[in-house]
Amino acid sequence: MTEITNQEFGGERPLYCSHGLRLKNVTIHAGESSLKECSDILCEDCRFEGKYPLWNTDRFTVRNCLFTEGARAALWYSRDLEMTDTLVEAPKMFRDMQNLRLTNVKLPNALETLWHCQGIKLNNVEAQKADYIMMNCSDIEIDKFHLEGNYSFQYSKNIVIRNSVLHTKDAFWETDNCTVIDSEISGEFLAWNSRNLHLIRCHISGSQPLCYCDGLVLEDCTFDAESDLAFEYSDVEATIKGHIHSVKNPRHGHIHADSYGEIIIDQNIKAPADCIID
């Protein structure tokens, strides 16, 4: 492996099509595609300022690095990334990628990040301003994720989330096969039109959650005092600990809660209209 230490690069494609590099304390200044079409790259204590530095790259490790706001769209069309202890200030990161693992990573401007990716593992990751994060992704494993941003996980599938805090409006729309365990989920219109969503010991807040769902399962979940009009037109099996403000027109299944503020069953309920509520 060739080592490059304490150097600075800028302009167009300064390290284009390189293979087997270890970059230590390297700065990539303004420019484009500094490490495009590369493989077997190790970046340690590096600073990225230019656009598109790691496109079409295979097998690369990023440790203790900084991606400034100017390094927007830094990692696209790449495979086999391991990123640890890194600050990512740039938006629109991680697109059309396969097999990426992020550990101890902070993304303070995660707008439109993680799109069309497969094989995602996040551990102790923070994402802020993260509207539309994780769209059209699959095969996702997450532990200790703190999310601030709306419209998350739309159209994604095969997701497992544990021990996380998700502050996100319109989360999990049109998702398939998602399990969330021991987590807090807050935001309006949670998981509409989802399929096979399984919530275990989660706390849910926000108006009109979990409507139009198929194969919805809740185990020992709790609801915020103002979380109302839940389960409209959903096929649901739910055990709820404590009180739920209101339930409206569930389509099928069984809902058990300690108490209800209001149960609304009206002429608009959809067939088979046989949900048991007790």
Please report, for the chain, the start and end positions of each structural domain, with discontinuous segments joined by +: 1-109
Query: Would you tell me which CATH number, out of the four given (3.30.1330.200, 3.30.70.890, 3.40.190.10, 2.160.20.10), belongs to the domain 1-109?
Result: 2.160.20.10
pTM: 0.95
Cα dihedral 111→114→116→120 (10° resolution): -160
User: Does residue 228 carry a pLDDT above 90?
Assistant: yes
Query: What is the spatial distance between Cα 139 and Cα 71, in angstroms, rounded to a whole number?
Result: 27
pLDDT given for residue 60 in this prediction: 95
121-155 per-position pLDDT tens digit: 999 999 999 999 999 999 999 999 999 999 999 99
pLDDT-based confidence at residue 62 (cuts at 50, 70, 90): very high
Query: What is the spatial distance between Cα 48 and Cα 230, in angstroms, rounded to a whole number?
Result: 46
Query: What is the spatial distance between Cα 227 and Cα 237, in angstroms, rounded to a whole number?
Result: 18
User: Does residue 226 carry a pLDDT above 90?
Assistant: no
pLDDT given for residue 272 in this prediction: 97
pLDDT given for residue 1 in this prediction: 86
Between vectors from CA 36 to CA 31 and to CA 40, what angle results, nearest 5°?
Answer: 130
Mean pLDDT of 179-191: 98
